[in-house]
Structure 1
Amino acid sequence: MLFPSVIALALAASTRAAIFVTSPTDNISFTGGQPATIQWNDDGNAPTLSQFGLAKVSIYTGNSAQQTNLQTISASLDVSNPLSLNFTPDASVGESGKYYFIRFESLALKDASNAAIPALAFSHIFSMDGMTGTFSADVQSQIDGQSTAPIGGVPTSASAAPSSTAASLTTSKASSTASSKPSGSASGSAKVAAATGSSAAVPSFVASSANLWLGIATGVFGAVVGVIVL
């Protein structure tokens, strides 16, 4: 098994590898103990199949950081001709399910960005049924790691982040709307209170009092004038 850091670097290089696996795929499976065929084409990117050259072909499981070789199918195969390989999957290497991928490891070509590691290419993760084996705890932990370090994919937790952010924004907007609505209602109530409350009655009360005192003063003045005349 290669060290995790080496695998991570190799996977980066695999995006430029020459091999495009057409079988197996995520919807083409194999059956343990039954004849199977791996097929591939040149993906049109550098290096070419001829440059990739002789390769070790194996069934692996794991994730982009840690991988385990379950079955070596060919120790040395010229991937440029032919473009297929017949073999029989060993049913005892693992459990039935979608846990497996084919790994091509060039015996001569090195990674373009790191000459210390070989050029690699991978198939999709695919299913195998009819399996009779059991994964060890270490291998199972590697399989479980596919959710955060998938082969040739993007971690699901990262793709979930935008949804989480959107939900947060929606919640924030809803909270803002909810808090502003009562404030608006209170403002409306305040306007009604200003028009019909006790403060609105004050001007009317003052005006009535003024008229009362004016009447009293006029009456007293008239009485005084009448006494003088008499």
Structure 2
Amino acid sequence: MFATSILLAGLASSAYANLYLTSPVASTSWASGDKATITWEETGTDYSIKDFGKAEVSIAVGSASSQTKLYVIGDNVDMATTSSIEFTVDGSIGASSDAYFIRIDSKDLKSKTNTQYPEQAFSAKFKLTNMNGSFNATVQKQIDGASDSSSVATSKTASSASTGTKTATSTASGSGTAKLGAAAATATAGDGALSLGVTMWAGVAVAALAGFMSL
């Protein structure tokens, strides 16, 4: 797992616009061992999906002040030439929970509001079942704090901790097909401030609402 501190940003960020995740949605439930597919499309006018460029796609949990990347699905996904990525759910990354979400970090485009940080996109929260992993105390505290995220001061920077993040072998599709990532269980570690905070949860909320309305 890879825990990062979060530099909270204002609601003007476009983290929830332009690159829109169409799957998973709030009603999505995947079980350990399932073949799962993440899909996205271009929306909005702040930037083009070509500008977003290559990105890291991961499964994460957490709150507005702190979150943890549990699983890197693809570490160099070209968002403009692909429209989906398939992976196998690893049951060891955490407990059965509806607290998971997809986080996408651009490697080519910087945030307009905090240019030292990457532009990002998020899915709605979704459920993983039949999991055989667990959340440590730090991660569980992040999950428990998610419901309080909107009340956190936007100038606060959270503390961080570092552990290992699993990396998947995954397949992307769209204009072409490519193998992404490294062997499962490859670990990386580090920490840093990211421009998520309230805007990140605004993005998750918008994605969740869109998923609900599509039912």
| TM norm structure 2 | 0.66
CA contact (8 A) 1:16 1:46 kept: no
1:106–1:33 distance in 2 versus 1, CA, 3 Å: same
CA contact (8 A) 1:13 1:120 kept: no
Q: Could you say which structure has the larger radius of gyration?
A: 1
1:29–1:79 distance in 2 versus 1, CA, 3 Å: same
Q: What is the one-letter code of the residue matched to 1:90?
A: D
Aligned equivalents of 1:45, 1:131: Cα separation in 2: 39
Q: What is the one-letter code of the residue matched to 2:136?
A: S
Q: What is the one-letter code of the residue matched to 1:46?
A: D
Equivalent residue of 1:95, what SS? coil
- What is the deviation of 1:24? 0.6
Aligned positions of 1:80-99 closer than 5 A: 80-99=80-99
Aligned equivalents of 1:85, 1:12: Cα separation in 2: 29
Q: What is the one-letter code of the residue matched to 1:50?
A: K
- Higher share in strand: 2
- What is the deviation of 1:22? 1.0
1:11–1:133 distance in 2 versus 1, CA, 3 Å: farther
Q: Quick check: 1:34 aligned with 2:15?
A: no
Q: What is the one-letter code of the residue matched to 2:4?
A: L
CA contact (8 A) 1:17 1:119 kept: no
Cα deviation, 1:173-227, whole Å, max 9, x if unaligned, reads xxxxxxxxxxxxxxxxxxxxxxxxxxxxxxxxxxxxxxxxxxxxxxxxxxxxxxx
1:77–1:62 distance in 2 versus 1, CA, 3 Å: same
1:12–1:60 distance in 2 versus 1, CA, 3 Å: farther
- What is the deviation of 1:13? 2.7
- What is the deviation of 1:63? 1.4
Aligned positions of 1:71-220 closer than 5 A: 71-149=71-149, 151-153=200-202
Task: Give 5+ residue unaligned stretches, structure 2.
Answer: 151-199, 204-215
| TM norm structure 1 | 0.62
- What is the deviation of 1:15? 3.7
Aligned equivalents of 1:25, 1:37: Cα separation in 2: 11
1:17–1:89 distance in 2 versus 1, CA, 3 Å: same
CA contact (8 A) 2:34 2:88 kept: yes
Aligned equivalents of 1:9, 1:133: Cα separation in 2: 32
Aligned equivalents of 1:74, 1:64: Cα separation in 2: 23
Equivalent residue of 2:45, what SS? coil
Q: What is the one-letter code of the residue matched to 2:146?
A: Q
CA contact (8 A) 1:10 1:111 kept: no
Higher relative contact order (CA 8 A, sep 6+): 2
| Deviation >6 Å, runs of 4+ | none
Aligned equivalents of 2:202, 2:54: Cα separation in 1: 26
Aligned equivalents of 2:17, 2:52: Cα separation in 1: 8
Cα deviation, 1:50-86, whole Å, max 9, x if unaligned, reads 1100000000000122110100000100111221000
CA contact (8 A) 2:14 2:46 kept: no
Larger mean Cα displacement after TM superposition, 30-39 or 132-141: 30-39
Please report the RMSD computed on the Cα atoms of aligned residues, expressed in angstroms: 2.0
CA contact (8 A) 1:18 1:45 kept: yes
Percent identity between the aligned chains?
38
CA contact (8 A) 1:103 1:123 kept: yes
Give 1:168's aligned residue.
none
